[in-house]
Structure 1
Amino acid sequence: MQRLKPVKFLSASLLVVSAMLSIHAVAADTPNATEIVAASDRARGGGLNGVQWTIDITGQDSNGPIDKRTYVVRASGDDSLAQATYPPREAGSRLLQNGRSMWFGKATLTKPVSISTRQKMVGPASNGDIASTNYAKDYDATILRTESVNGEDAYVINLVAKSKFVTYDRIVYYVSVARHVPLKAEFYTVSGKLFKTAQFEIGNKLDIDGSTQPFVSKMSIQDTIDRSNYSVLQYSDVKTRKYAADTFTLDALNRP
């Protein structure tokens, strides 16, 4: 009978090893929420080293239709610079975003003006909506579930702001399982109130080192409190570019 004891010990050891391997296998199959969000950021210019696009913003508020605004946006890494080209009275004004900080500038100002990313631009669209997106760095991400969005499987990801200086306090973000691009978003206040939603279309593409990077072509933002209040952001002329070292600096913001 004593000769069977090593066999029992070996069997127990095998069970422990088997359980550990199963745990590692499950962990390996579990999607990483932050990595998924980082991939979706790239479809909106975040984390890409040198990209440019044109954005046309139209919309409506409680007073009726709002005049179109057009910006040329340059982005690299965590930084972006949006320069107005239309309407003529706004041409040359710029919005610079360095990480979570944003400034307004133009040639007629003696120094840049610090502004909020939350300030409204056109309808419910905010300053932060026209800049490149870095949700992976600005928010803590947790996958809640998966569900279908317009017939496409999507991760439903809860994003909670890491600081009060980001554009939104909380976002429920729907990211394509297959493509890792944003499909829709719900924006909430600190108190948990839903105040606007967004739908995304991914119709642009970038060629980066021989690989195709999907890029947003349209973002439609709807105010959930006043249904007549909405914004439509159209993205075009998306391309890669190389920038001078001082492109995204405060010193360059008010240059002619």
Structure 2
Amino acid sequence: MQRYKKTVLLLASLILASATFAVSAPATETPNATQIVAASDRARGGGLNGVQWTIDITGQDSGGPIDRRTYVVRASGDDSLAEATYPPREAGSRLLQNGRSMWFGKATLTKPVSISTRQKMVGPASNGDIASTNYAKDYDATMLRIEQVNGEDAYVLNLLAKNKFVTYDRIVYYVSVSRLVPLKAEFYTVSGKIFKTAVFEMNNRLDIDGKAQPFVSKMSIQDTIEKSNYSLLQYSEVRTQQFGADTFNLGSLNRP
């Protein structure tokens, strides 16, 4: 009888210990769709307080190679400023994005000109493609599934535009499960037709508060309707940077 009581007490202790461990053990939770998109935005300059990079854009259409363009991009929060450095005839012209509004300016203009983020720049690349990305604020995100992209597990997310001022109406976005960086994207019209795709490489790094932040090194954009039409965006000289208070001020856009 005594042995039986000891056995019962031992089993009770083991059950109690197991239950205590289950309660105290940290749970690993899958981030929700908005959190995943916000994390992936940082790999493209979105949500970072002060970062600068150089972007070199080349491409081709049905007529052959397209003129190269180069910009120095400065971004902080929801704002970004892209200043052209090449070709020489475009040097000094600027694209300013304040939230969802985009403006074109240069010293020879009397006032900034409002432009669309959807306007094509080089090949299928649009004005909005060279600015910092804030998909988490501009789109409603929902999780579709998890699938592999080039052997890597990826969250597949459906992004629907919150308004008509953003670059794309709908995006199916593939984000690495382990790295939370974008792997590829499919861009759709309002009618539901895919009209271009993008593939990303993440070989740049930033140091953000002592932590390594992956950053885009290459974005390849392919027109799915006109197969000969594509753009290649290459990112270099990526670094954190503090900017003056008037850097993203519309009133300063046309300054010399």
Judge same fold: TM > 0.5, yes or no.
Answer: yes
- Residue 67 of structure 1 aligns with an amino acid whose one-letter code is D
Q: Deviations over 1:70-116 (max 9, x none)?
A: 00000000000000000000000000000100000000000000000
> How far does residue 31 in structure 1 lie from its aligned partner after superposition?
2.7
Structure 1 CA distance, aligned partners of 2:209 and 2:254?
A: 33
Match of 1:136 in 2: 136
Question: In the alignment, which residue of structure 1 is the partner of 2:195?
Answer: 195
SS state at 1:40 partner = helix
How far 1:63 sits from its partner (Å)? Answer: 1.7
Quote the residue 2:226 is aligned against: 226
Bigger drift between 132-141 and 62-71 goes to 62-71
Q: Which residue of 2 aligns with 1:21?
A: none
Q: Percent of pairs identical after alignment?
A: 85
Structure 1 residue 30 displacement after superposition: 4.3
> Which residue of structure 2 lines up, in the alignment, with residue 44 of structure 1?
44
Q: Output the aligned Cα RMSD.
A: 1.5
Q: 2: distance between equivalents of 1:196 and 1:50?
A: 30
Distance 1:172 1:101 in 2: 23
Q: Is 1:120 paired with 2:120?
A: yes
Post-superposition offset of 1:62: 2.0
Partners of 1:102 and 1:30 in 2: CA distance: 35
Question: 2:185 is paired with a residue of what secondary structure?
Answer: strand
How far, CA to CA, are the matches of 2:156 and 2:215 in structure 1? 20
Work out whether 1:244 is the aligned partner of 2:210. no
Question: In structure 1, the residue corresponding to 2:175 is in which secondary structure?
Answer: strand
Q: Quote the Cα distance in structure 1 between the aligned partners of 2:31 and 2:248.
A: 34
Aligned residue for 2:110, secondary structure, equals: coil
**d(CA) in 2 for partners of 1:180 and 1:133?**
14
Match of 1:55 in 2: 55
Partner of 1:143: helix, strand, or coil?
strand
Q: CA deviation at 1:246?
A: 1.1
* Residues in 1 aligned to 2:85 and 2:29: alpha-carbon distance in whole angstroms: 47
Q: Provide the residue aligned with 1:72 in structure 2.
A: 72
User: Equivalents in 2 of 1:182, 1:171: separation in Å?
Assistant: 12
Normalized against structure 2, the TM-score is what? 0.89
Code of the aligned partner of 2:32: N
Gaps of 5+ in 1: 1-24
Structure 1 position 180 matched with structure 2 position 187: no
The one-character-per-residue Cα deviations of 1:225-250 (angstroms, maximum 9, x if unpaired) are 01000000000000000011111011
Q: Deviations over 1:16-53 (max 9, x none)?
A: xxxxxxxxx99x83431001100000000000000000
Aligned residues: 233
Give the structure 2 partner of residue 14 of structure 1: none
- The alignment partner of 1:136 has SS state of helix
Distance in structure 1 (CA, Å) of the matches to 2:47 and 2:91:
27
Residue 149 of structure 1 pairs with residue 149 of structure 2? yes
SS at match of 1:29: coil
For 1:203 and 1:67, the matched residues in 2 are separated by 25
Gaps of 5+ in 2: 1-25
> Given residue 99 of structure 2, which amino acid in structure 1 is its aligned partner?
G
Give the Cα separation in 2 of the matches to 1:231 and 1:30. Answer: 34
